[in-house]
Amino acid sequence: MNADQAGDAGRAVGERVRRLRLAQGTSLSALARAAGIGKATLSGLEHGTRNATLETLHAVAGVLGVPVTTLLLEPGAPPAQMAGVHGSAVTPRLLEVFHEPGVTFELLTLHVRPGVLQRSPPHAPGVTEHLTTTRGVLRVGPAEAPVIVPTGEHHSWRADTPHVYEAIGAGEATAVLLIRSPS
């Protein structure tokens, strides 16, 4: 993605955040406070002048009660058009979004850089994450009790509480992640 495309994607994400915030009747200050981010950060995100991290977008999506892909992808757009975003350790790639009555599933691959612990803020109530490590070793799950998940193993947790991702060892780890969000 070139600089112009990245700028367009950032503006589109910001506009989706703004539309959802206004539809819920929430002020910029109230959303920033509830998400635990600065008002200037949220304003910059909404105006497309600030690139948001994965952690910031999850915090905003959690407060708005929507899956993070609602902020990153236009409705009906193919997963390959998701705005590029990364966290302090995790770079996701969206494979598919499935909508069923009462629930949305987001299927992603994750690349987790070693040497960094990524703290993810709580998602909306009832959200769960289901991760299978495909290469390396990961420490994932609730921040107060993460577990080690080696290659080929699986772990699930409630993601409506703070949770973490960390590659254990010297190399990058990869995983498949399914996020289940009730509507």
More confidently predicted of 73 and 110: 110
Mean pLDDT of the chain: 90
More confidently predicted of 53 and 139: 139
Is the confidence at residue 55, as pLDDT, over 70? Answer: yes
Q: Does CATH place domain 81-182 in 3.65.10.10?
A: no
Nearest to 75 by CA among 42, 59, 97: 97
Span 121-176, pLDDT tens digits: 999 899 999 999 999 999 999 999 999 999 999 999 999 999 999 999 999 999 99
Span 97-120, pLDDT tens digits: 999 999 999 999 999 999 999 999
pLDDT value of position 178: 98
pLDDT value of position 49: 87
DSSP strand pairing (118-120 vs 103-112): unpaired
Q: Does CATH place domain 3-72 in 1.10.260.40?
A: yes
Percentage of the chain beyond pLDDT 70 is 96
DSSP strand pairing (163-168 vs 137-142): antiparallel
Q: What is the model's pTM?
A: 0.83
d(CA 176, CA 54): 17
DSSP letter, residue 81: G
Instruction: Label residue 4 by pLDDT band (50, 70, 90).
Output: very low
Tokens of 146: 């993460």
> Residue 62 belongs to what H/E stretch?
helix 54-64
Domain boundaries, the chain: 3-72, 81-182
